[in-house]
Chain A
Amino acid sequence: MLPWKHAVKRIRLSLYFTRTNILAAMEFRTSFIVQVIGMLVNDAAVAMLWYIFFQSFPGVNGWGWQDTAILMATSTLSFSFVFIFFKGAGDIAVIVRQGELDYYLAFPADVLWHVSASRSRIDAIGDALFAFGIFFLFTPVTFVTFAVFLIASLAAAGVMYGFTVVTQSLAFYTPNIEDASRDLFELLLGFSFYPQNIFTGGIRAVTIFVIPAFFTATIPHRLIAHFAWPALGVLVLAAIIAVTVAILFFRYSLRRYESGNLMVTRG
């Protein structure tokens, strides 16, 4: 099969998975709505906090409320891209520990893709709504910034996905990694909501090499505020590298998978 045709098929199937998950979630309408609205409110609360902050202070080294609005829009959108469509990536550690990977190995499909695509985070729909809401309400929208917003968030989602897969796949090596990988992810989100220009020197190095917030937050914000081709190039390259590393690392680690049965004695 031609590679692009293969990719199109994958994307269509991913969407089909997401649709199925959303349908399943809608079986419980109230809970569905509570989750989506709840996340929307959650994000709005964080935004409100920063709004108050910038009421007290005119800015931080020239970074103002509008910059934070852009930052939050792109961070939450890339988050929702990953977790609406590929939430399973964030569950790899649990799935491996519980031996649930058996299920995915029985299918004629790529395991990483199947695990990732088969689950969806319903509340991430709230994040997506929030992202578009704050983007249209508080940033000067043009056709170009909107296009950049979508593209940059998508690329940032690639980096976020790669980071998630790699940290979660550590579960193939040591069983009690779930909390640690969740903490690392939380740090990534943590870095993504602060004025990015305060991260210099040591912290900047950390956001480039350890917790890739430089790629999931700093560059997307900069691109939307002042577009520049080289920055876009760097971001897309980072996304490609992150996803490739994730695929290779997962594939390599999968060889260590030892299923669940020997470890759990069931009656």
Chain B
Amino acid sequence: MRYSKYLSVAKINVTERLHHSSNLAGRALVVMVRIWIFTTLYTATYRTIHATTIHGIDVAGIVWMLVFAQSFRQSGWPNTAAIIETEVKSGTLAYSINRPYSYLLFHFWSYFGRVGPNLLINIGSAALAGIIFVGWPSISLASAGAGLVLLAMSFVLDFFCACAIGLLAFWTEDTSAFQWLYFKGQLIFGGLVLPLALFPDALRRVAEWLPFPAMFYSPARLLVSYDGALFKWFLLMQVAWTSVAILMAVFLFRRGVRNVEMNGG
């Protein structure tokens, strides 16, 4: 039962999150209002150009994409990069190396422990807003399947990217600048406010090579309507970027730990 310890790690994080339920309720309200604003914004936008669909997606589709993308994005909270940064700086990391588990795997499962309940609550409140403002989404079996696959992978990708950023704390005093850049990348290219589907064509083709759309935008996009070619493309991007992120994280971790051992922290 080597892996049951990681299950326990995930479980304790679930309980911990549930204890902050009033906190989560507040967040949920914020999400509801935000969806309300988006509905209004895109309804007005579509009306201005006298369109009912753009690239085959109507206002409801756009709103649902945002519902999904934002809920997924929010669910990784609290921020993994910041957690790891704190542990690197406080020396907790060096200490936990002596424990009988893998540091990266420990955090990986902590992350998923947080994601579970957060996802339920975030999706719950945001989807409620979606249903109220634009009606039920039309999710086909294919789009659901594709969406779930991409979703799982996008969490893995996000985790390892955040991990790598947090580990930079071995070398820089403060990683918040990198965290900012990462979040802003997600904000602009991650479909959190403006889905990539609505980007000007040239810009979209460039942006699709970035890791950010491969995160939470990709499952959101596929859940709303299935597109085989797009699914394959996103999956390819996810696998590629996740490999890069894992390699980076492991490399930075090993290097960092070795630095500490040699220089005594």
Task: Tell me the minimal C-beta distance from B182 to chain A in angstroms.
Answer: 11
| Cβ-defined contact, B26 with A61, below 8 A | no
B22 within 8 Å of A (CB atoms): yes
Write the B169-198 contact mask toward A (1 if CB under 8 angstroms, else 0). 000011011001100100110000110001
Q: Are B177 and A37 in contact (CB under 8 A)?
A: yes
Return the contact of A179 from the options B23, B47, B184, B198 (Cβ within 8 A). Answer: B23
Of the listed stretches B34-42, B92-100, B218-226, chain A binds B34-42
Chain B facing A: main interface SS: helix
Binding site for A on B (CB under 8 A): 22-23, 26-27, 29-30, 33-34, 36-37, 40-41, 44-45, 47-49, 173-174, 176-177, 180-181, 184, 187-188, 193-194, 198-200, 203
Known: A30-B174, A49-B187. A60 touches B199 (CB 8 A): no
Query: Which residue of B is nearest A200, CB measured?
Result: B40
Q: A127 to chain B: closest CB distance in Å?
A: 14
Do A52 and B188 contact each other (CB < 8 Å), given the known contacts A34-B177, A179-B23, A190-B30? yes
> CA–CA, A35 to B180, complex, Å?
10
Q: Is the beta-carbon distance between B33 and A187 smaller than 8 angstroms?
A: yes
A→B interface (CB under 8 Å): 30-31, 34-35, 37-38, 41-42, 45-46, 48-49, 52-53, 55-61, 176, 179-180, 183, 186-187, 190-191, 194-195, 197-199, 203
A240 to chain B, nearest CB (A): 27
B-side contacts of A176, CB under 8 Å:
22
Q: Which residues of B contact A35 (CB under 8 A)?
A: 176
A49/B30 in contact, CB under 8 A: no
Interchain CA distance A237-B188 in the complex, whole Å: 37
Contact with B181, one of A30, A41, A180 (Cβ below 8 angstroms): A41
- Chain A residue contacts of B45, Cβ below 8 A: 57, 60
Residue of A34, A37, A55, A187 most packed against chain B (CB within 10 A): A34
Q: Which residues from chain A contact B203 at a C-beta distance below 8 Å? A: 52, 55
Q: A186 vs B74: C-alpha distance in the bound complex, in angstroms?
A: 15
- Residue of B at shortest CB range from A183? B26
29 contacts between A and B (CB under 8 A): A34-B174, A34-B177, A41-B180, A45-B184, A45-B187, A45-B188, A48-B188, A49-B187, A49-B194, A52-B194, A55-B200, A56-B198, A57-B49, A58-B48, A61-B44, A61-B48, A179-B22, A179-B23, A179-B27, A183-B27, A183-B30, A187-B30, A187-B33, A190-B37, A191-B37, A194-B37, A194-B41, A198-B40, A203-B36
